[in-house]
Homo-oligomer: A and B are copies of this chain.
Amino acid sequence: MLDDGVHKLVEARETEPMLRNGLRYMQTHTPKEWSDREAFKATASRASAEIVGHFRESKRRIVMIGSRRVRDGNTILTHCHSSAVTETLIEAHMQGKRFRVIQTETRPKYQGRITARELVEAGIDTTMIVDSAARHYMKEIDFVVVGSDAITSEGNVINKIGTSQVALAANEARVPFYVVSTLLKFDPVTIHGEYEAIEERETGEIWENPPEGLKIRNPAFDVTRRDYIHGIITEEGIISPHSILEAVHRHYPWILG
């Protein structure tokens, strides 16, 4: 019964391994058989609270670790909106560090505006650019930091469309590129050979009234290859993306079943 419910939930949204991992935790920490409905609910509820706790604790650690990478005088580029990224930057700012952030607008949904609002409200010197201008400003950048939607068993990171382009431009200019992400975003199906499906969103986000006959493609995410990632800032610390599988084995073995 739980399995059925879980299955539906999981299928509803693609590219969200953290949700799936949460459900997997509940499954593996809840007895398969039960007689007492109430007892079951209590157990499930406890497991649910535990995994949410793990997530919160991991985020708190990540934010502290990430904030140490920021130095006075840095210029930092970020793309899209990630609460882990904005909390990391705000934490660094509250530690008294003074730095600039360059923020892409992140078409088509303009999530960069959310990031910009949060940073400006926190008093951080923030500059917005169009997504296309990331390479143009790369030489002013000390490091790039982005969030993550999923991490594959090969060490690649799936994140908002355009992330891989920013990573490529950072790599071209020898600018370090960091991902902040809990290990709970590791996607265990990738180890078994599945590709991570890239969600396609509705085309009206790009152009509401396009000319008839025009096709529009609106992928939500792209894949950033591990070779362009200097480090993933996780609850274990800052690790090479090639080590992601080992870190998951160490911290959340139940993800790997």
Contact = CB atoms under 8 A, between A and B. Distances in A.
Given A130-B131, A131-B130, A210-B128, A193 B67 contact: yes
Contacts of A131: 107, 130-132, 162
Given A137-B217, A165-B135, A207 B128 contact: yes
B215 A132 contact: no
Q: Is the interface of A mostly helix, strand, loop or mixed?
A: mixed
A233 interface: yes
Interface in A121-136: 121, 125-136
Contacts of A222: 132-133, 135-136
A219 interface: yes
A108 B130 CA distance: 7
A231 interface: yes
Interface in A185-235: 190-195, 206-207, 210-219, 222, 225-227, 230-231, 233
Interface string A88-118: 0000000000000000111110000100110
Given A126-B215, A128-B215, A153 B193 contact: no
Q: Could you say how many copies of this chain the assembly holds?
A: 6
A193 B233 contact: yes
Given A131-B107, A242-B242, A243-B245, A195 B164 contact: no
A46 interface: no
Interface of A: 64-69, 71, 104-108, 113, 116-117, 120-121, 125-139, 153-155, 161-162, 164-165, 168-169, 172-174, 190-195, 206-207, 210-219, 222, 225-227, 230-231, 233, 236-240, 242-243, 245-246, 249-250
